[in-house]
Structure 1
Amino acid sequence: MYHLKFLVLFCIIPGIYLWSADSYWSKYSSEGINYNSDDSENGMWSDDGSPYLPDSSWGKSCSGCTCQYKQSSLEKLGTCTNSMSVIGLTIPDNITAKTFPVTATSINFLGCTFTHISEDSFSNITGLTTLTICKSGLTFMPDVSKSQITTLNLIDNSITLDSKYKGTLPDTIEYLALTNNKIYWLPSGFINGSNLRLVSLGGNEFVNFPAASLGEIPNIMYFGIESNQLIQISSNHLLPLNTSTFVHLNLSNNAIQYVQRGALNKMQNLKILELHGNSISQIPKGVFEDLKELIHLDLHHNKLEKLTSESFIDLEKLIEFRLHSQSPAMTTILFDSMINIGKALKYLFISQNGLTHLPHQVFMEANFTELIELYADNNLIKNVTELGESGYGIKLRPTYLRKKKQLVAFSTTPNIVKLYLHNNLIEMVNNTDFCELQVLQLLNLRGNRLNETHIQEDGFKCLPVLNYLDLGSNHNMQYVPVALTTHEKLPSIQTLYLDSNMISVLPSETFTNVSTLVSLYLQSNRIIAVENNTFPEQLRTLYLYNNRIVAVEDGAFPYEVNTM
């Protein structure tokens, strides 16, 4: 007998998640990348919304001065002590050289508005170690040459300099954060200091790389000049960064079209290179060659339609490689475009391009046994095991035909744990397609052209530890594929997505014998009835909202399942 049950529409509104820079890059701690919270707070962040942002959740406060108020507004800053901080307030006083004691050590203005501030306000404070003026409309570079400053943080102001500026930085400086100002020029040798650890010039108006502004910086670790207007990078630009301590160069979100051959490998200890969001359309041989310590290379959102021969050579320690989201879309990866880069590679991103095949032509040239995550979603891939002829070109057609016969898909990438293939044009899953991936745990095939007849009965049987499978939003899938209906066919599955298809019926015992299944997503189908004994006893979460259910048989749901 059937009874109507109420099904709950469960809605989650996603929040905005922000990571501090030290948290984001901690994934490379074993490779010697050990950023701290001071690094995050003093200029080392990205302003494009991803992947990391600074914390600017400031309130309103005044401390370290007498701070006289009238109602809720600051009426007078008053007499200040050696350590003071004002947050989110308008400063009514005229800030001059007499405002702060010469013994002051820490001065902080965050999100303030100055009525007036003199350019010599900080010039005589010899004991000053920290000066932070952020998002406060400051228009000039403070003179701190007589101080003992270690941290100069002037993020989010309107600072500009011209040839009249004669100031210098003391040798004590460790952090120079000038992000998001209006700076287009810095004096010769201005960026100087034996203790300087981090320099951030992002979000300014540099058209040319400020090579002449770089002095002696033997302990520099990070240099960021992202989100400017740079067009090219030459060898001379980067010479001052060739130190034993320098590991991280951020050139992202500029207009870079050209990187001179040999420019990058002058930095022999470089580990992280961010070049995403530029206009690089081709990679001449030798640009990305012999970067022996490089572990992270990001080239996403450039204009790389084709990776030509020997584009990347001898990047033996590369762990993460991002080539996704090219515009125009990348359509071709030649078989010899990546030479000797697979020894340590764990994460490869080729998503959001125009690729018609997985890059088996590259994988066949070496062993990629460390690769654990492959992101190939949002392409034009139809067949996951086919070798693409475009990876060889017309002149090497005989080589292509020979390699095509030799190909055993995924045999040189056997340790992939997560494989993202969603939003492609995949039309078929054969019994042996993924059988070389014996440690695969996550497989995302969402948004392809699969249906119940295009997935062979044992399509996933050879994947002993697959616990997450997404087949949602596929092409005209009207019935649950047989490949998903027993423990033998899905021996370890825990989470299964079949939502947003055209499934209309759930016959008895459809999932009963899938003994490891815990979460099942069937929302947004055309299901009209749920028969008895359809789901396994251990199922704990079942999504069925946005269907056409008119009848549910008694005992259809396991006792402890949460229906949504």
Structure 2
Amino acid sequence: MVDVRASKAAPFYLIFILQFVGIATQNCPSPCFCKGHFEVYCNNTGISEIPKGIPKETTVLDLGGNKIKKIPYGILNGLLNLTFIGLEQLGFTGNEIEAGALNLPNLTEVDLSFNRYMMVPPNLPKAMSRMYFFYNPIEVLDARSFNDYPSLEYFDMSNCHITHIKPNTFDALVNVNTMHIAFTKLTNAGVPDGVFAKNTKLDYLNLRFNHLNGLLKGLPSSLENIDYVGNPIKEIPSNAFEDLPHLKTLGFWNSALSKIDDNAFAGLVNLTILDFMSAAITSPVTNNTFSGLPSLQTLYLDDNHVPSIDIGALRDLKSLTSLWLSGNNLSTLDEEVLDTKYIPNLNTLFIDFNPWYCDCDLRWLREKVGNASYVIQDPHLIVCHGPEKVAGKPWDELKPEDFVCN
């Protein structure tokens, strides 16, 4: 049965929607694109000045990729609801934003990416909490960079040319929780010990693909996530993270790391992810390499050069669920290494692309394929390198009884 009331109401609602769309389109300054009354996108439209008639209700305004030469004082007056402004890819170098031009009560996010700044510019909003600054040629950060922006909680300065961070640079950032300083040119000599010490709310520090050859010192104990990915760090010494008890994730993949000292991760009782994929680890995994990690759930050791794993090496990893050992130099493995009495939560194991010597000492592991509490992934990629009788054959073509000793 057709609901007559609904069918009669439908045209009214349609007219209302069309009127709303018409109003939004009518109020949108040319040549911009508007999304409702609240978002105005003028980016890459070829304009040379900020258009007039921006709706007062606007919360998002993107002016990027144009020929705008300056942001004059007063030009944005009346945009009391504005929370985000995009000033990316304008060719700005320093003083194009006039004093007070961005002093709007709710403006907290500013995108200055893809400009030509050699310094963090003045005259940004005092209440700014998020700043996007990637792809600028800035080389040095100092205290003047952030002193005027104590409300900053998040910034991204990735893909800049940063070589040095001066002492006290971040002291004013008492509220910052996320810093991205990735794909820059930082070395250990360019980062003074303790430069992050006063950032006691810092949660995530992204330093990937810099030129650091050692761990930074004097980091705040609040850190939960550190990304050292792609740095030429060669060794992790014992007790390296003893002052960072809240760490949950730690990344070193695609690094030059070759050695992990015993008890390197002592005290990291909250760590859940440890990533060494595609590093250069050549040292054996000993009984103390991963000691003190009761919360660790995922361990990436794939694509390294690990030659062996001691019998008790995983016994502290009570929470381990996923173990990646692919692409190492493992030829054999003792059954006690994977004793589920110690690692009861293990559910996924990767062991392909190792030079396995498939004799009777490794038969137990072949028996686990399809017959264990955990899954051994990709048996068709697990290939025997010896003895001669089975060399070159994948495990999905072999049976446990094929693993024999002469």
TM-score normalized by structure 2?
Answer: 0.77
Corresponding residue for 1:374? 205
Corresponding residue for 2:278? 473
Corresponding residue for 1:439? 246
Aligned counterparts of 2:49 and 2:195: Cα–Cα separation in 1 = 40
Aligned counterparts of 2:350 and 2:54: Cα–Cα separation in 1 = 61
Deviation, structure 1 residue 308: 4.0
The verdict on how the C-alpha distance between 1:179 and 1:519 changes in structure 2, with shifts beyond 3 A counting, is: farther
Quick check: 1:460–1:490 contact (8 Å CA) kept in 2?
yes
Corresponding residue for 2:325? 522
Select which of 256, 261, 266 maps to 2:92: 256
Corresponding residue for 1:43? none
Cα deviation digits, residues 285-308 of structure 1 (max 9, x gap): x344xx332111000111112224
Corresponding residue SS for 1:199: strand
Cα deviation digits, residues 461-507 of structure 1 (max 9, x gap): 1211112111222225252255435xx43232111111110123345
Aligned counterparts of 2:272 and 2:54: Cα–Cα separation in 1 = 54
Matched, 1:234 2:234: no
Identity percentage of aligned residues: 17
Question: Quick one: which amino acid aligns to residue 63 of structure 2?
Answer: I
Quick check: 1:350–1:376 contact (8 Å CA) kept in 2?
yes
Select which of 89, 101, 107 maps to 1:270: 107
Deviation, structure 1 residue 242: 5.6
Corresponding residue for 2:41? 200
Cα deviation digits, residues 184-220 of structure 1 (max 9, x gap): xxxxxxx9xxx953321122112x232xx32475433
Corresponding residue for 1:150? 23
Deviation, structure 1 residue 554: 3.8
Aligned counterparts of 1:266 and 1:507: Cα–Cα separation in 2 = 62
Corresponding residue for 1:426? 233
Aligned counterparts of 2:170 and 2:226: Cα–Cα separation in 1 = 20
Deviation, structure 1 residue 179: 5.5
Corresponding residue for 2:126? 292
Quick check: 2:158–2:183 contact (8 Å CA) kept in 1?
yes
Corresponding residue SS for 1:553: helix
Corresponding residue for 2:373? 560
The verdict on how the C-alpha distance between 1:483 and 1:278 changes in structure 2, with shifts beyond 3 A counting, is: farther
Select which of 331, 348, 351 maps to 1:544: 351
Deviation, structure 1 residue 361: 4.0
Q: How does 1:110-121 map to 2 (within 5 A)?
A: none
The verdict on how the C-alpha distance between 1:507 and 1:459 changes in structure 2, with shifts beyond 3 A counting, is: closer
Aligned counterparts of 2:54 and 2:324: Cα–Cα separation in 1 = 59
Corresponding residue for 1:315? 149
TM-score normalized by structure 1?
Answer: 0.57
Cα deviation digits, residues 491-541 of structure 1 (max 9, x gap): 321111111101233454443453322111111223222332221412211
More divergent stretch after superposition (465-474 vs 526-535):
526-535
Aligned counterparts of 2:208 and 2:328: Cα–Cα separation in 1 = 23
Aligned counterparts of 1:481 and 1:235: Cα–Cα separation in 2 = 64
Question: Quick one: which amino acid aligns to residue 147 of structure 2?
Answer: I
Quick check: 1:373–1:419 contact (8 Å CA) kept in 2?
yes
Question: Quick one: which amino acid aligns to residue 120 of structure 2?
Answer: I
Aligned counterparts of 1:561 and 1:516: Cα–Cα separation in 2 = 13
Aligned counterparts of 2:80 and 2:32: Cα–Cα separation in 1 = 25
Select which of 185, 188, 191 maps to 1:357: 188
Aligned counterparts of 1:471 and 1:461: Cα–Cα separation in 2 = 17
Structure 1 gap segments, 5+ residues each? 1-80, 85-103, 108-127, 131-148, 153-168, 181-190, 387-408
Deviation, structure 1 residue 250: 1.1
Matched, 1:489 2:292: yes
Higher strand share: 1
Select which of 209, 233, 241 maps to 2:49: 209
Deviation, structure 1 residue 330: 1.4
CA RMSD in angstroms comes to 3.1
Deviation, structure 1 residue 365: 7.4
Quick check: 1:441–1:468 contact (8 Å CA) kept in 2?
yes
Cα deviation digits, residues 238-289 of structure 1 (max 9, x gap): 63246432211012233333334525543343111111122223335x344x
Quick check: 2:260–2:289 contact (8 Å CA) kept in 1?
no
Corresponding residue for 1:333? 165
Corresponding residue SS for 1:530: coil
The verdict on how the C-alpha distance between 1:243 and 1:338 changes in structure 2, with shifts beyond 3 A counting, is: farther
Matched, 1:129 2:129: no
Corresponding residue SS for 1:297: strand
Aligned counterparts of 1:428 and 1:480: Cα–Cα separation in 2 = 14
Aligned counterparts of 1:337 and 1:371: Cα–Cα separation in 2 = 14
Aligned counterparts of 2:116 and 2:54: Cα–Cα separation in 1 = 31
Select which of 505, 514, 520 maps to 2:308: 505
Q: How does 1:49-64 map to 2 (within 5 A)?
A: none
Quick check: 1:309–1:334 contact (8 Å CA) kept in 2?
yes
The verdict on how the C-alpha distance between 1:361 and 1:507 changes in structure 2, with shifts beyond 3 A counting, is: closer
Structure 2 gap segments, 5+ residues each? 1-10, 378-406
Matched, 1:346 2:177: yes
Deviation, structure 1 residue 350: 0.2
The verdict on how the C-alpha distance between 1:369 and 1:360 changes in structure 2, with shifts beyond 3 A counting, is: farther
